[in-house]
Amino acid sequence: MWWWTKVNRADIPNALRVELEEYGEVVVAQILGRPYSHSADQTAGVPLWTKTNETRRPVLAWLREQHNRAERKRDISETMELAILILVGLEVALSVAGLVSTPR
């Protein structure tokens, strides 16, 4: 529907996408949120995409994509909840009006 959040797929290499999905959204955000230090070069396990702003941009685009996906999922859930509420309300209104007979 027109009010659902649009998900723009980040234009990043597949190898980077796989790596980011292995880490997960929360871990990637924590890694990007910490300040970069020169000792990170010697630290095992620190991803290479944390070094400069140029290497961070694709990762930020991936985080934005993940956020948009979560927003769209919430939008769809809310739409379904609203549709169910409307249908139940319509059923109750028709039952009260006597237009729909209930089985006995």
pLDDT tens digits along 50-100:
667 777 888 899 999 999 999 989 999 999 999 999 999 998 888 888 866
- Would you list the domain boundaries of the chain? 14-97
What is the average pLDDT score of the chain?
81
pLDDT at residue 102, as a whole number: 59
The CA distances from residue 14 to 7, 19, 48, 70, 104, in Å, are 18, 9, 16, 21, 60
What is the C-alpha to C-alpha distance for residues 99 and 82, in angstroms, rounded to an integer? Answer: 23
Name, in order, each residue with C-beta under 8 angstroms of 67's C-beta and a sequence gap of 6 or more. Answer: none
pLDDT over 70 percentage in the chain: 73
pLDDT at residue 54, as a whole number: 76
